[in-house]
């Protein structure tokens, strides 16, 4: 029978690492084959107020998006919309 500890764990995630993990997990929802980006928006009380990932805005089908993009500069292959837009703009 294992002994139950009477003190708290010391190896838990700090807030920044926790929020980055949430953002990373959110990024896994992206359908973009070239880049997956997640966002986790937090208030001053360490409460998550929004999460998102790069994808088409609500109401737009990502099935008709031409995912194949090429360019010399990798930044030119990015679409200007992401999941965080709805949270960052009023």
Range of the domain at 35: 15-88
Tell me the CATH number at 77: 3.40.140.10
Q: How many folded domains does the chain comprise?
A: 1
pLDDT digits (tens, 9 = 90+) for 11-60: 999 999 999 999 999 999 998 888 899 999 999 999 999 999 988 777 88
Contact present, 38 and 27 (Cβ < 8 Å): yes
Dist CA 45 CA 4 (whole Å): 31
Within a domain: 80: yes
Within a domain: 4: no
Within a domain: 7: no
Q: Is the pLDDT of residue 4 over 60?
A: yes
Tell me the whole-structure pTM to 2 decimals.
0.72
Task: Categorize the per-residue pLDDT at 1 as very low, low, confident or very high, splitting at 50, 70 and 90.
Answer: low
Contacts of 51 (CB under 8 A, 6+ apart): 22, 23, 26, 38, 39, 40, 41, 83
Within a domain: 62: yes
Angle, CA 78 vertex, CA 74 and CA 81 arms, to 5° = 160
Within a domain: 31: yes
Within a domain: 3: no
């Amino acid at each position: 029978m294992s002994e139950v500890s009477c003190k708290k764990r010391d190896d838990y995630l700090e807030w920044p690492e926790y929020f980055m993990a949430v953002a990373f997990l959110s990024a896994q929802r992206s359908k973009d084959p070239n880049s997956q980006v997640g966002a986790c928006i937090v208030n001053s009380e360490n409460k998550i107020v929004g999460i998102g990932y790069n994808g088409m805005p609500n109401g737009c089908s990502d099935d008709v998006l031409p995912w194949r993009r090429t360019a010399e500069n990798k930044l030119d292959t990015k679409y200007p919309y992401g999941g965080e837009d709805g949270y960052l703009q009023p």
